Structure 1
Amino acid sequence: MSCKSRDEVLELAKSKLDELIKLTSDLIKIPSENPIGSQRDVIDFVKNYLSEAGIPCEEVGCNPDFPCVVAKIGKDEGFSVILNGHVDVVPAGDRAQWEFEPFSGEITDKCILGRGTSDMKAGVAGVLFAMKILAESGAELNGNIRLHIVSDEESGGQFGTKWLCANGYADNADACLVAEPTGHNTIEIGQKGRVDLVLKSYGKSAHGSLAGFKGENAILKLIKVLENINMLREIEGCYKESQAQALINSKLIADQKNGAGTGDVIDHVSANVGMIKGGTRPNMVPDYCEVTVDLRLPIGVGAKEIEDCVKKVIEKSGVTGVEYELDFQTFGNYTEIDAPIVEAIKKHAEALWKDEVLPAYQWASSDARDYRVKDIPTIQYGPSNTVGIHSYNETVDIEDVKNAGQIYLLSLCDLMGIAD
């Protein structure tokens, strides 16, 4: 068929929304746990779906255990949009903790049930559906839409989005939509960076019965250093005037989702002492201890500022024999609030939900960073129920899935020049 206007494309989509719900359920029924499972079946399913929709696709990647699927519709010139999603899910864990079978994909009157419903197979279904509808509609695209489906986001992304960006698959893109879960009233337009801080202390071994009289306890040394770790949390981000509203939105959302008083997590460094290793036996004074601290960096905070503060933390502790390593994985990154991809999603989400939708920064990180490193305006927007993500009894609302699919489609129509 051939649809000439956005309204015609939308009517086609509305007539097939039940297919979107079934697609989500079908994806859930395919176990794709990472790192304990296989991604082969779900990747093959995506390839078959695209092929049946008449959309040429290709399996690419550098690790056969974590393949990617890429596809494109439209013409080479004009506006270029990337749609990104991951099909791997975190392990379901203890089945006894679930109120339903985690890979049932059961559809109730209001929800779809199962591991990955919110994170993020509903989002993947939404972008696949939107791409299929546009291809089926025959509408003329003033540009192209590229699809990036990856299978290792939950394990860091080195074989997925990061690899795709490093190997030219994101070149010359004008925008990117990552269908990660946000809920209907938030558009993620920026996120914090991440660095692993490893502190190492060296002491002198002795018999445990002589502790305090002989030897030098490496664990106690690091305890003194960790007493000052809050110095890192005093570091604030640096924002431009154009980021003021997004920062206000972000603090508001953080307070709402995490509890009153947590808004400062957005524009301050966070420091989580996550791992500590030290000692050999309880009857020996430990001569070595190592601590790993997960630091999340707000926008505008650089390497030198962090390193200078780490040195001050150690100095203030008053101990010697302490070393550190900093592994900077990414820095804070963002998309301007008035970027076309932000404005398109915001306009259609507000029109459909009849609710204000806030562009905001995220306190964690995701694959969006890899596109932003390439200066591609990138957002996250996807259906979700927060309860159950990376936990038990994960679900997603059917209304949220249907609306997300339509919002993606309408936004792509705007960006591809498909008029009313």
Structure 2
Amino acid sequence: MTREWIINTAKEREQELIKLTSDLIRIKSENPTGTQREVVDFVKSYLSGAGIEHEEVSVNPEYPCVLAKVGSDEGFSIILNGHVDVVPAGDLSRWNYDPYCGTVTDKLILGRGTSDMKAGVAGILFAMKLLKESGAKLKGNVRLHIVSDEETGGEFGTKWLCDEGYADGADACLVAEPTSNSTIEIGQKGSNALILKSYGMPAHGSLGNYKGENAILKLAKVLEGIGRLHNVKGRYSKDQEEALANSKFIASQKLQVKGIENVIDHVTANVGIIKGGTKLNMVPDYCEAHVDIRLPIGVDTDELDREIMAMIAESGVSGVEYEADWKNKGNSTPMDAAIVQAIKKNAEKIWGIDVLPAYQWASSDAKHYRNLGIPTIQYGPSNTEGIHSYNENVDIEDVRNAGMIYILSLCDLLGL
């Protein structure tokens, strides 16, 4: 009866979930330009109202985390993770509405953070509240990790929680980050910085064609060959081949660019920043380029190093070096993990469509849990076109269904 009560109550109180999402959106929690205090206090107040014990922890008081637990110390333990910080709204004139309006229309919820990822946060908070209210004897526990430092790298959020042992003993983790309703993210590429450095010889700018050695021009010749790094591929086990095929299909369908499916299993290299020179009238003696390198699962970093050195050598210039430590590798969760199968089963039941476990071309906080050996997935409501852009929104149907999928999956995993 407990499971039936939880499901029926979730359906009866779906407007509570929609309002919770709207209330979160109305709290401006930009990172790095704002404060997280108000939104974190809101989460704590919500948990208090639900009778859920919680605590605030932090290594940096500007980026507090909220922890909570429902259930027993024995049995299956699952972490629900979500971040409450959002990227800045940017140019307000480019928005069709106040980015922090939280307006609920007949089909949408409007505002910054609706998809990334306050709708997901609302879903996991609502699910946890219903489990607590039900009084169910869970065969395990649900642990909540709400963080406020994801959009600037997670150093003071999920990474710190994992480093400090707050995730120890978990058997699974659900990160309610935005995905499509038909995709469960079970792996991602690793994000790393490659810094190329070029050294030249200064001279007066008026003699630039004759004297000195221009470090900017030298590095430009090296960067002409950056595309060769895209030829380095990842390596996938037989058990990973189905998810890889799913991922390539999804990328080609979503991104609609010829050959774009290769973004999944090949290295990508984006020259994001170039710094060089000190004065207009001087031949620059130093230049550096920062390159965003994404590593697929199973990549051979020694092969990548060899390609970088070959790229420099083939440019024909001297005095160029590089640094990179490749600390963030591609990471994944097995398709047969309990959390993957529970979400897949219930998402397919709710949506009536095939839901594919797949790898993502970007990265997120999920990697910190996977690095501890915790099977981790991402699944959350979203309209991807507004994420990190203008006029962000989320479908009410997505929010409602995601909340129910979380509830059903938790019931399955915790023996209800």
Structure 1 Cα separation of the partners of residues 302 and 409 of structure 2: 40
Equivalent of 1:325 in 320, 323, 326:
323
Q: Paired residue for 2:77?
A: 80
Q: Paired residue for 1:27?
A: 24
Q: CA deviation at 1:303?
A: 3.3
Equivalent of 1:69 in 34, 41, 66:
66
Q: Paired residue for 1:52?
A: 49
Q: Paired residue for 1:127?
A: 124
Structure 2 Cα separation of the partners of residues 383 and 314 of structure 1: 44
2:411 is aligned with 1:413:
yes
Equivalent residues in 2 for 1:356-375 (5 A)?
356-375=354-373
2:316 is aligned with 1:292:
no
Structure 2 Cα separation of the partners of residues 309 and 217 of structure 1: 24
Q: Paired residue for 1:9?
A: 6
Q: Paired residue for 1:273?
A: 271
Provide Cα deviations, 1:47-94, integer angstroms capped at 9, x if missing partner: 010011010000001010000000001111100000000000000111
Provide Cα deviations, 1:117-146, integer angstroms capped at 9, x if missing partner: 000000000000000001101121000100
Equivalent residues in 2 for 1:306-345 (5 A)?
306-345=304-343
Provide Cα deviations, 1:374-397, integer angstroms capped at 9, x if missing partner: 000000000000121101100001
Amino acid at match of 1:180: E
Structure 1 Cα separation of the partners of residues 77 and 275 of structure 2: 48
Q: Paired residue for 1:206?
A: 203
- Give yes or no for contact 1:12–1:137 (8 Å, CA) kept in 2: no
- Say which is worse superposed, 361-370 or 279-288, in terms of deviation: 279-288
Equivalent residues in 2 for 1:170-189 (5 A)?
170-189=167-186
Structure 2 Cα separation of the partners of residues 400 and 13 of structure 1: 14
- Say which is worse superposed, 347-356 or 322-331, in terms of deviation: 322-331
Matched residue SS, 1:213: coil
Q: CA deviation at 1:316?
A: 1.5
Q: CA deviation at 1:412?
A: 0.4
Structure 2 Cα separation of the partners of residues 5 and 29 of structure 1: 34
Q: CA deviation at 1:302?
A: 4.0
Matched residue SS, 1:387: helix
TM-score by length of 2: 0.98
Structure 1 Cα separation of the partners of residues 56 and 306 of structure 2: 45
Provide Cα deviations, 1:4-58, integer angstroms capped at 9, x if missing partner: 3422320111111110000000000110000111100000000010011010000
Structure 2 Cα separation of the partners of residues 276 and 394 of structure 1: 30
- Give yes or no for contact 2:234–2:300 (8 Å, CA) kept in 1: no
Equivalent residues in 2 for 1:146-161 (5 A)?
146-161=143-158
Amino acid at match of 1:351: K
Amino acid at match of 2:105: T
Structure 2 Cα separation of the partners of residues 163 and 129 of structure 1: 25
- Give yes or no for contact 1:302–1:331 (8 Å, CA) kept in 2: no
- Give yes or no for contact 2:2–2:134 (8 Å, CA) kept in 1: no
The root-mean-square deviation of aligned C-alpha atoms, in Å, is 1.0
Q: Paired residue for 1:40?
A: 37
Matched residue SS, 1:328: coil
Matched residue SS, 1:181: coil
Matched residue SS, 2:202: coil
Equivalent residues in 2 for 1:136-151 (5 A)?
136-151=133-148
Equivalent of 1:352 in 328, 346, 350:
350
Structure 2 Cα separation of the partners of residues 186 and 207 of structure 1: 58
Structure 1 Cα separation of the partners of residues 299 and 145 of structure 2: 30
Structure 2 Cα separation of the partners of residues 194 and 405 of structure 1: 30
Q: CA deviation at 1:210?
A: 2.0
TM-score by length of 1: 0.97
Q: Paired residue for 2:385?
A: 387
Matched residue SS, 1:352: helix
Structure 2 Cα separation of the partners of residues 251 and 97 of structure 1: 33
Q: Paired residue for 2:281?
A: 283
**Which ranges in structure 2 are unaligned for 5 or more consecutive residues?**
none
Amino acid at match of 2:396: I
Q: CA deviation at 1:306?
A: 2.4
Structure 1 Cα separation of the partners of residues 62 and 2 of structure 2: 42
Q: CA deviation at 1:214?
A: 1.5
Provide Cα deviations, 1:272-303, integer angstroms capped at 9, x if missing partner: 00111112233321111111111000000143
Amino acid at match of 1:45: F
- Give yes or no for contact 2:266–2:296 (8 Å, CA) kept in 1: yes
Aligned length: 415
Amino acid at match of 1:196: A
- Say which is worse superposed, 322-331 or 94-103, in terms of deviation: 322-331
Structure 1 Cα separation of the partners of residues 250 and 339 of structure 2: 21
**Which ranges in structure 1 are unaligned for 5 or more consecutive residues?**
none
Matched residue SS, 2:293: strand
Amino acid at match of 1:238: R
Identity %: 67
Runs of 4+ in 1 over 3 A off after TM superposition: none
- Give yes or no for contact 2:39–2:84 (8 Å, CA) kept in 1: yes
